[in-house]
Amino acid sequence: MNDLKIRLQQWTEDEAKANEGFYTALRGVWDTMVPWYKLEEPYSEAGAQTFRNMMKFGGGGWPARKRLDDIAENIPVASRSGAQGLYLRVFKPATNNGQPPKGVYLHFHGGGWTVGSADVEDEILYRIACNTGYTVASMEYRLAPKNPYPAPIEDCMDAALYLLSPEVEASMGPLRVIGGESAGAHLTMVTVFGLRTNGVDVRSQLDAIVLNYGCYGKRSPLLSQPVD
């Protein structure tokens, strides 16, 4: 079994100072954006959908996101609950020195399990694919409040199991990385533990898990015992 290695990426004081101007400007832009809790009925599905639309199409200070529909491929994923409209948004590296992709990076977007979507980070995900040589597949999972827990966890697990199926692995390559940001990082951890519970040797299967500013507890909902 491979040793588990954890690499924390931290900025040095010099790096923080070098980027201070950028983050000051970013905070200025952020201050012009309408926060979700100031929307009418912020805790309703209608309020959540309004915020999702602002993030995707622009509005309330949010810039419209650039979609790469001519590059992306949406692959349907079957849901254990029979839910419709679930898919992986897939980006293949533009070039990999003539070599096939290294494998698949399964990505889960952030958004507090309530907002966000697989197609609001097209430019970033395509850049990751081209820079790393991995095929990037971002999951369009169900969101609260319309679809409360455990809907997003089930969808992310279904995506991982789909990518691990022999026929999909033969066409797309092996699943090698799982990651996300914020809620997506939490869903990454739960999915990895869920795969382990389902008998997958995640240490030999995965090259890495990518956890960007996630939220974690001492117990995974897919495990019957605390996680050390």
76-111 residue pLDDT tens: 999 999 999 999 999 999 876 677 888 999 999 999
Position 220 scores a pLDDT of 47
Query: pLDDT tens digit string along 158-205?
Result: 999 999 999 999 989 999 999 999 999 999 999 999 999 999 999 999
Q: Residue 201 corresponds to which amino acid?
A: D
pTM for the model: 0.84
| DSSP letter string, 141-196 | ---TTTS-TTHHHHHHHHHHHHHHSHHHHHHH--EEEEEEETHHHHHHHHHHHHHH
Mean pLDDT value across the chain: 86
The torsion of the CA quartet 177, 180, 184, 189, rounded to 10 degrees, works out to 40
17 pLDDT band, cuts 50/70/90, is confident
Taking residues 120-135, report their average pLDDT: 93
Q: What mean pLDDT comes out for the span 50-54?
A: 88
Q: Which two tokens stand for residue 217?
A: 């507890």
Residue 1 has pLDDT above 60, yes or no: no
Size of the chain in residues:
228
